[in-house]
Chains A and B, each alone.
Chain A
Amino acid sequence: MVSFVIDGKNVQAEGGAMLLNVARQNGIVIPTLCAHDTVARSGACRLCVVEVTKGKRTRIVTSCLYPVDEGIVVSTKTERVMNVRSLVMQLLMARCPESQLLKDMAKEMGIEPQPSFRVETDKGKCILCRLCVKTCEDVVGVSAIGLSRRGKDKIVGPPFMEDSVTCVGCGACAYVCPTDHIVMESTDGRRKIWGRAFRMKACDTCGRYFAPVDQLKWISKKTGTPLSELSVCLSCK
C-alpha cells in the first residue's frame, strides 16, 4: 500500500494502481473519453490529465496510465489541467461538431466551442479513441478493423477501407463507441456494419433474430462449442 495526497485529501492505494481508478474510488470526478474497463488503455484522448508533484518535479500526466506512488501530491483541477482539458474538448468539438456526447460533456465542464477553429465536415463523430479497434482485437479477437494513415488523416475502419473479410458482424465496436460514430443497421434478418451485410440467425425457440451467423461460427470455432448448441438466444437458454 502507498499513501499520497489527491486534491488535499490523504488516500491509500495499492502501489502501481492507476491514478484514475484510485481517484474515482475516492469520489473525484475526472472526465475520460478513451479509457474503458474491458480493454488496455492507450492514452489517446488526454482528457484525464491531472497535475502530479513527485519530489521536486511537478508535471501533467494522464491519470488513466499513471501508476500511483508513495508521497505523490495530485491536483486534479488546476489551471494547467483545465487548460489542457478545455483545449482537448474544443479540438474535438471542431472535429466532430455533430457529437451530442461532446456537447453534453463540454456543457457540464463549462467549455464553449472555440470560434477560431474551422469546423470539420468529413470526420463524422469519430474522435479516434481506439476503443472499437482494441475491443475488436482484444475482446472479440478478430482484428477486423484498425487504424490507418497518419496524423490528421488517421482513420479507423477495415483494412484499406474495403469490406472487412474477418468481421463477424458482432457489433461490439458499435456498442463500445462513445460517440455513436459506427453505424449498425438491423432489418429483417440482416445486419449492416462496416459496409457489409450479415445474415442473422433466428432463435430456434422464439424465432427472434439474435446474432449474425458469422459470429456464431466464430464463437463455435473459438470455444469449440458445436454450432448446433448456439442456435437459441440468451433469453431462451
Chain B
Amino acid sequence: MSTIKTLEDLNKAAKRGLESIIPSKTKIMVGMSTSGLASGAQEVYDALAAEIKKRKLDVVLCKTSAMGMDCIEPLVEVIQPNRPRLAYSRMTAKKVPEVINQVAKGVVDGFKPTYRMDEEDYLCLNEKKPYFKGPLPNDVKDIPTISNVDFYKKQVKIATRNCGMINFESIDEYVAKGGYFSLYKALTQMKPEQIIDEIIASGLRGRGGGGFPAGVKWQTCRRAHGDIKYVLCNGDEGDPGAYMDRSVMEGDPHSIIEGMIIGAFAIGATDGFIYVRNEYPLAVANLQRALDQARAYGFLGNNIFNSGFNFDIKIGKGAGAFVCGESTALMTSLEGKAGEPRAKYIHTVEYGLWNRPSNLNNVETWANVPAIISRGAKWFSSIGCKNNSGTKVFSLVGKVNNIGLVEVPMGIPLKDIIYEIGGGIPGGKKFKAVQTGGPSGGCIPKSLEDISVDFDALWEAGSMMGSGGMIVMDETTCMVDIARYFIDFLEFESCGKCVPCREGVMRMNEILHDICGGKGRPGDIELLESMSKGIVDGALCALGSTAPNPVLSTLKYFRDEYTAHVRDKKCPAGVCKALIRFSVSDEKCTGCGVCLKKCPTECISGEKKKTHVIDQTECIKCGVCKESCKFDAIIVE
C-alpha cells in the first residue's frame, strides 16, 4: 500500500475497490456482524468455504456486515457476472450445498433467495450502478427486489449506507463507494469555516440523543481558545438492546473515521479518540484495522492530501458503564480515571478532555458527515422534516414481527415503523406502546401512533429520540412493570456520585417494586411524582435528571394501570404475579387434562371431561397452564 496524496491516487484505489465489489467472477458474501455471528454465520461461512474447495469452484468468498434485518440472518449473498445480487436468508450449513449448486449452475431453482438487488446505490458518488446489463434473467423474475420487501421499503440509508454492502476489511471498497473523496474535497477545496457552514446549513443534529446542532458545536469548539483541541467519537452505546452504533463501527468503520478527519480539519483539532466499550470486540477490531489502513494510505498522519493538515485517531476502551456515554464521564474515563460525570456549567467544547477544547459527537453523527460534504447541505436537508434533517437509525426490538436495524427519514409516522417496516405485532396481539430513547426515554402509547418520529415531537410527547432504541410492547405488557424494569437498570447504572440519583432512583425502585408486589400504599403515586421532580431538577448529570422519565411517561399515559395496582391490587395486563390469580373457566374447560399434566407444582386437579380446578395455595403463577390450554379456558385476573 502506498500513500494516497492526489485525486489520481484516490481514483486508482476506487478502481481496485470496484473490482472487488463487483468482480468478474462469482462472489459470495456472508453477513458476519455480531448479529450474524450470533445466529450462526461462522458455521455457514466455514461450510461455504469447504464446499467451494470440494468442488474446486473459482469463487470469491468474503465477509460483510449486516444490512439490518436480523430476523432473517444468517444472510448469504451471491453476486455473479451479469446477474442481480441475490440474498439467501436464514442460512444453515445444511442449505449450503443447495446454494452452491445454484451458484455452479448460475440459475435459481429450489431453495429461493428472499430478495434480489438489481442495482447498488453509491450514495457519496450520487450514482447507482446496475449489477447486470440487458434483460433480467428469467429464473429470478419472481424474486422480489429489496425495495419491495416491507422491511426495506420505507428505509433511506445514509449513515448505514455501506453496512452489509461492502467488505468491512477493505478500504478500497470503501473508497469505491465514494469514500475519502469527501475528505479530499474538504481538505483541498474547502476552508474550515466553509465546512462548518455546510454542516450548519445541513441541519445535522447530534444522533447520540441530545439532538444538538452538530455544526454549531463545531463552530464553538473552533472558536474556543487553545492550540490543542480534540475531536471525540462516542461509541459507548450503553442502552440495553441498542446496537445502531455497533453496526456502523463493525460494518463501515471508515465512514466514522472520514467524518472525524473532516470534523477535525474544520475545528482545528490535532488528535481524535474513539471511545468504544470493551464488550464490542468486533467493533474495536474493525475500527483498529480501519485506522491502520487509513494511516497506511496517509489519510491519518501528517500532511494529509498534501494539505499541511496533521491528525491522528486512537481508540479508547471503556469498561461498559452506561454512565460513560455521558460526555464528561466519557472524558474522565478517557483520562484514565473513574468514569464519573462532573458539572458542565463550563462546556466541554471549551474545557473538555484534559481541560482542552473537545468536540464530542456520536458514531452516527460522524458517519453522516462525509455524505453531507459529498452531496451538499441542500440534499441532506431535503430528507427528513422541519428542523430534523436526514435520517435516524433505530434498533427495532420487542413485540414486533421484523426485528432489526432500520434507518428511516426523520418525521416518518411511528405507525409506519411498527406496522410496515416492523410488520406489526406477532400472534395477532394488539399494539400498546413503544419505548423510545433508551432506558431514560419514555413510552409513546398507541393513541399517538401517528406521531412524527423526530427529536421535537418525541420530546413533546414526554419521550425522546435518545440514541435510537425502539422497544415495541403489546397488550400483554404491564406498564408499571416496564417502568420498574427501566428504573431497575438505571439504579444499577447510577454512578453514585450525587444524592438525588444514587438514593432517589433507588427509593423510586423500592416503591415500584412494592406497587408491583401488591404492597402499594395510598400516596405512592404522588410520592413518585414529587420525587421525580426533585430528581429531574437536582441530579448532577443527565443520567439522573432523565431517570424518572420511564415513570413520568407511563404515569402520563397509563395512570389507570398504576391506580389499579395500588388501589384495587390488580394488574390489568396480568403480569405482576402478586396481583394475579389463575382459575379455570367452567364454560370453556373441556376437561382434557393437558394443564394438569403440565403444571410444575401439580396443583391442578379434575376428572377427565370435567372442569378442572387450580389449588390457589400451591399455584406459583408461572402461566404454563394458560400457555398449554387449547381452549383458552384459563382465566387470569
Contacts and interface: CB of A to CB of B under 8 A. Distances in A.
Contacts, number: 106
A152 to B, nearest CB: 5
Interface string A77-88: 000100110111
A237 interface: no
B491 interface: yes
Contacts of B523: 116
Interface in B502-549: 502-504, 506-507, 510-511, 521, 523-524, 527, 530-531, 533-535, 537-540
B495 interface: yes
A87 B498 contact: no
Interface residues on B, range: 35 or more
A84 B538 contact: yes
Contact residues of B: prevailing secondary structure: helix
Contacts of A66: 343, 345
A152 B524 CA distance: 22
Given A43-B540, A67-B346, A84-B538, A91 B495 contact: no
Given A49-B538, A94-B507, A116-B521, A152 B494 contact: yes
A105 to B, nearest CB: 13
Contacts of B500: 46, 84, 87-88, 91
A88 B498 CA distance: 10
**A60, A95, A152: most-surrounded residue (chain B CB, <10 A):** A152
Contacts of B538: 46, 49, 60, 84, 87-88
A92 interface: yes
A151 B534 contact: no
Given A83-B530, A84-B538, A150-B495, A91 B345 contact: no
Contacts of A94: 503, 507
Contact of A152 (B338, B503, B527, B533): B503
A65 interface: yes
A151 B345 contact: no
B510 A118 contact: yes
Contact of A91 (B507, B521, B530): B507
Nearest to B533: A83
A67 B345 contact: yes
B544 to A, nearest CB: 9
B502 A87 contact: no
Contacts of A60: 537-538
A95 B527 CA distance: 18
Interface string A29-64: 000000000000011111101000000000011100
A61 B503 contact: no
A88 B343 contact: no
A147 interface: yes
19 contacts: A43-B497, A43-B498, A46-B500, A65-B343, A66-B345, A67-B345, A84-B537, A87-B530, A87-B535, A92-B503, A116-B523, A116-B524, A117-B510, A150-B321, A150-B493, A151-B491, A151-B493, A152-B506, A154-B502
Given A88-B538, A151-B494, 8 more contacts: A43-B342, A43-B343, A46-B540, A87-B534, A114-B527, A116-B511, A151-B492, A151-B493
Interface of B: 321, 338, 342-343, 345-346, 491-500, 502-504, 506-507, 510-511, 521, 523-524, 527, 530-531, 533-535, 537-540
